[in-house]
Structure 1
């Protein structure tokens, strides 16, 4: 069942050339190391610098700040290529697709000049610390506090499930600067982790999937953060900043899910065409063909919708509701497609040496992070209020 190649409506010749260069780099540097990174629980620190050297980091940040001078389409290409190559350990979506854009959109000029060029080279690895042990999708429930004391904020609290947490040099910490002001009392402080007294990294978290992705706990005990590191220089803007940027984060997740679905279909068609059952290829059985037809249809619908969302995002017109739809539907469909594909692999599908087994484990969290799918449905429903 060979599907004809079709160029996305948001792609152009320059993006195709960029994609080909990124694909070569991923195949050369990431794919051979993915298994080893899964064993150690994080990618090698030096790989961030290598990625910076070839222009993979901060591809959509202006050249004036050391970035690649592209737009979100460049981030999308990178996301798609990583998903297609089954590379789950590289946290660039957070570093370049999310944190860099908080800084670009809301940072002061001094903050942008100070941090973005070093993020683009890989000198600095960035993380954003939102989730807490008692507050996941409910950001208003965070307990981390930042008290203003002279020219510093004093940061206390704990964060968990932080992507890039182990290696991060720069952590955007979501904290309450005015606990009595509700959503208007939340701010984002930029912590430079080197020699930050009172800052401690907890354990590297052991996960079901995405084992090569650096995910850690972070602790803040009377950590002094210069007031000039308050994102944008104005307290109380954190919730607004988060809400404005979350649609792009959710589209990144949807892009990965759509690519994962297509890859699962491809792998399973290839497997079933070679696997003999009762004297004939598994592919020749009607159930196999029907199941793969269903999976291919879901993958095609997902990619079509995500491409439509990409067009809107590039025009600055993607709504929160549309991003939420894309995030919840594609991640749900991805888990369903991979489950069907694993079933057709039989017992081999349960063995981690087969890519479909790793995809099964890697996909599950996508229905949780970036806002759980239940929260996504609530966002969609609010559009009718």
Structure 2
């Protein structure tokens, strides 16, 4: 391909991506924002909005075009997630958990698995999420107890998964199990399956949450659940941890983008209110105490967005990006928490009222510091990579 042809192709791609982002913005303002307060306060799953998300192709956002997806770059996907999270963060979780599952299949699955599953993921016909966490195992994934025992041409799964996004409404999950509980090191005995709901696979309960309403979080029970050997991702045992890590790279970029969206929403609400509210004869943004908060909030948003773009661009290139994604996830999510609190303080008593958006942002933001690996773990990973890159 000539240089001119390459430039033309890149220009066409950028224009297509711009059009997609513009359509997302119009959809959010027209069909989502007017419903958010009602759905969120009543913890109602947004079935109608999910159908619209299917029609927009969002469940296939990063799935390659040859498998029926939009084939968007992770950097564009991150921008979509930021926009959605600025309006209602819960919707981003419905997409993210599903696309982590698709991302794992696209990166680690066999060609037969890709051709069977990805087109169904892309349309939203088959959607779900990631089943990693267990009641006694969160951060330490190697300590999971769910097992899969080979019997003929299938595996028999027993165990429990908890805090699984889309657990009730979803129909398939990337399920992390132990196929060799005695393996040393432990990760060598871990495998991952695409598990569709059926006999032996049930939802035990919906988990109630402080924030992150609308999206269902559930506990999943596997009792002698049979999954075909053909659903073993990659077709071999022992690569489950590698699958999980691959998916979590995308997940952390997604959570960072959510952090940017929530931080931006908090800033927008604070700026608007500071221009409307007056004390001592002038708008409160003219008071130094408020201006200082607004300055810090705007800086956090910009820094978070740049860190997230850097991590997403590394994913675009196919580079290892745990260092960049860890930094983006850490900083952007802490910024979301700080900005939501500052927005509440700027609103004063109204910030504590459920009639204002900032109350929801204040409840949603803390989840981001926990999900896809706690921020304490991100700090450790960043430090580890820092030492690896700078040997004594």
Tell me which residue corresponds to 1:93.
96
Change in Cα spacing, 1:16 to 1:185, as seen in structure 2 (3 Å) is same
Q: 2:338 aligned to 336, 339, 351, which one? A: 336
Q: Are residue 353 (structure 1) and residue 355 (structure 2) matched?
A: yes
Tell me the alpha carbon deviations over residues 350-375 of structure 1, each in whole angstroms, 9 at most, x when there is no partner: 11221111001001011101001111
Tell me which residue corresponds to 1:185.
189
d(CA) in 2 for partners of 1:46, 1:284 = 43
Give the superposition deviation at 1:323.
1.2
Change in Cα spacing, 1:353 to 1:89, as seen in structure 2 (3 Å) is farther
d(CA) in 2 for partners of 1:333, 1:70 = 27
Q: Are residue 129 (structure 1) and residue 131 (structure 2) matched?
A: yes
Q: 2:158 aligned to 156, 161, 176, which one? A: 156
Give the superposition deviation at 1:42.
4.9
Tell me which residue corresponds to 1:4.
none
Give the superposition deviation at 1:279.
3.1
The number of residues matched between the two structures is: 372
| Mapped contact 2:260–2:332 kept (Cα < 8 A) | yes
Alpha-carbon RMSD across the aligned residues, in angstroms, is 1.7
Give the superposition deviation at 1:190.
1.2
Tell me the alpha carbon deviations over residues 21-69 of structure 1, each in whole angstroms, 9 at most, x when there is no partner: 1122223333333334335545344543432222222122112211113
Tell me which residue corresponds to 2:260.
258
Q: Which has the higher helix share?
A: 2
Tell me which residue corresponds to 1:21.
23
Q: State TM-score, norm by structure 1.
A: 0.92
Tell me the alpha carbon deviations over residues 97-124 of structure 1, each in whole angstroms, 9 at most, x when there is no partner: x111111111122222222112211211
d(CA) in 2 for partners of 1:329, 1:113 = 37
| Mapped contact 2:75–2:313 kept (Cα < 8 A) | no
d(CA) in 1 for partners of 2:120, 2:43 = 24
d(CA) in 2 for partners of 1:100, 1:30 = 25
d(CA) in 2 for partners of 1:73, 1:294 = 25
Give the superposition deviation at 1:202.
1.9
| Mapped contact 1:275–1:282 kept (Cα < 8 A) | yes
Q: Are residue 223 (structure 1) and residue 225 (structure 2) matched?
A: yes
Deviates more, 1:77-86 or 1:34-43: 34-43
Tell me the alpha carbon deviations over residues 299-332 of structure 1, each in whole angstroms, 9 at most, x when there is no partner: 1221222222232222223521221111112111
d(CA) in 2 for partners of 1:84, 1:78 = 10
Tell me which residue corresponds to 1:5.
none
Tell me the alpha carbon deviations over residues 166-192 of structure 1, each in whole angstroms, 9 at most, x when there is no partner: 111111111101001111111111111
Tell me which residue corresponds to 1:62.
64
Q: Are residue 138 (structure 1) and residue 140 (structure 2) matched?
A: yes
Q: Secondary structure at the match of 2:121?
A: helix
d(CA) in 1 for partners of 2:215, 2:125 = 18
Q: Secondary structure at the match of 1:136?
A: coil
Tell me which residue corresponds to 1:240.
242
Q: Which runs of 5+ in 1 are unaligned?
A: 1-10
Q: Which runs of 4+ in 1 moved over 6 A?
A: none
| Mapped contact 1:154–1:223 kept (Cα < 8 A) | yes
d(CA) in 2 for partners of 1:263, 1:37 = 18
